[in-house]
Amino acid sequence: MEKAKTYALKLLAKRDYFEKELREKLRKKGFSEEDIEQTIVYLKNEKLIDDRKLLERYKELSIQKGKSPASLKAKLYRKGITEVDFSYEEELESALYLLENKYRKEKNYRDVVKFLKNRGFSYSVIQEAVNKFLNGE
C-alpha cells in the first residue's frame, strides 16, 4: 500500500483528482484493488480528496469563465462524474458573465440568442440573460 499511497500523493501534488480518476490512475499503474482501496480511504481520512469540494470548485470556475452547464457536465463526465446540478441562478450568472466579457459584436437580439444557444445554455436562461444584457441591467 505504501507505494500506492506515495504514487497517489505525487499525483495530488500536481493537481486535484476526483476519486474515480485517482482509482483509474492507480489501476493503470498496476496496484492491487486492496492497495487502491486502502489508499483512497487514507486520502479521504486525511481530507486530501473530496469529490464534493472539487465539484464546487469546478462549478465556480465554470461560472467565472462563462461556461454553460452542458459544457461543464461534458467535461466532468469524461472524468467519471455524472451528477452535476447547476441552479438557474448559477447558469444565469455564467451566461451574463459570458455576454459582458466575451460578446463584442453588435447587440442584435437574434445574434445574442444564437451566441448563447451555441454554447449550451437553456432557453429560459438565454431569454433572461439577453434581456438583461440588451437593456443594460
pLDDT tens by residue, 85-129: 888 999 999 999 999 887 777 778 898 999 999 999 999 999 999
49-74 residues labelled b (16+ CB within 10 A) or e (exposed):
bebeebbeebbeebbeebbbbebbbe
pLDDT tens string 46-60 = 999 999 899 999 889
Domains of the chain: 2-49 (1.10.10), 54-134 (no CATH)
- CA-based nearest residue to 43, from 66, 61, 20: 20
Q: What is the mean pLDDT of residues 43-47?
A: 94
